[in-house]
Amino acid sequence: MGKLAFFQELLAALEEQRPAVAATVVRVEGEVPGMAAGDHFLWEPGGRYEGPGAAVLEEALGEVAPGVLAGRRPRLETLEVKGGNITLFLEPVLPEPRILILGGGHIGQQVAAAAKLAGYRVSVVDDRPDFASKALFPDADRIICAPFNTALQELEINPSTFIVIVTRGHRYDYECLRAVIQAPAAYIGMIGSRRRVQGVKERLLAEGVDPQVLARIHAPIGLDIGAETPAEIAISILAEIIRVYRRGA
């Protein structure tokens, strides 16, 4: 694969959130036909390969690439192939975390700023045009002005989505939580005092929501660091999200 074609495919995989493994040949020992340091290949589950060296790589990558994806970390791998050894630098291409902020108020704005600082993609939903605005969210990747339920029906929620429920009132918080509670999100957090959160949970329980599903909800939201201002609360929320993202808990 030519360098330009490789980087274009890599970018497409990153943007379309397709899992893949980027392989760079960093060393070749012996005579391996069609294989030189600086060659790049993009491995995708079930993909097909063309060009010189493809057959060799297809077999070799098929064995190690799934492990790289599962391990989520780049690694060097020296493989014995016909004619010699090749050393590959293998990097997992994983969907990037996206933080979905429901509510464009003071806390939502600070969560967006903190999330961008940490390098996450940010989407914001609010039903009020004054709040779902570029002026308040200059760095957000997506701003959606629509009723929460409507927006949530259309937005894709996947295992890379982190949902932060910080609307202007607990009636909307409840609506949002109910809309996303069965979604395969990486994280769902909801703001509110213990008492309010308890009220919302009891209501959902009474509606027949599985207690185990409810136990997944991070509410009250954020790590308990005594945060008081919107910015402090945003940092405690991001800290919790980072912990879930990096440690899975």
Partner 1 sequence: MDRELIAEVIGSLQQGKRCALATIIQVKGSAPREAGTRMLVSADGHIHGTVGGGCAEAAIRQRALMVLDRGRPEIYHLDLTADTAEDEGMVCGGVMDVFIEPLEVIGEC
Which residues contact partner 1 by CB under 8 A? 2-5, 7-8, 10-11, 14-15, 22, 24, 26-27, 37-38, 73-76, 89, 91, 93, 96
**Nearer residue to partner 1 within complex by CB, 22 or 237:** 22
In the complex, minimum distance from the CB of residue 38 to partner 1, in angstroms, rounded to a whole number: 4
In the complex, what is the shortest distance from the CB of residue 35 to partner 1, in angstroms, rounded to a whole number? 13
Overall size of the chain counted in residues: 249
By beta-carbon proximity to partner 1, the closer residue of 7 and 245 is: 7
CB burial readout 164-179, b (16+ within 10 A) else e: bbbbbebebbbbbbbb
Query: What angle separates helix 170-180 from helix 194-206, to the nearest 10 degrees?
Result: 50
Q: Which is nearer to partner 1, 16 or 31 (CB)?
A: 16
Give CA separation, 118 vs 95, 111, 137, 235, 236, in Å.
Answer: 16, 10, 16, 10, 13
Q: Which is nearer to partner 1, 73 or 247 (CB)?
A: 73
**Smallest distance from partner 1 to CB 184, Å:** 23
Nearest residue to 93 (alpha-carbon basis) of 116, 68, 75, 58 = 68
Pick from 81, 73, 104: nearest CA to 25: 81
CB of 119 vs partner 1, minimal distance in Å: 9
Nearer to partner 1 among residue 158 and residue 193 (C-beta): 158
CB 235 within 8 A of CB 114: yes
**Burial label, 21 (beta-carbon count in 10 A; 0-12, 13-18, 19+):** buried
Smaller CB distance to partner 1: residue 4 or 135? 4
Minimal distance, residue 160 CB to partner 1, in Å:
13
What is the C-alpha R_g of the chain? 22
Nearest distance, CB of residue 201 and partner 1, angstroms: 38
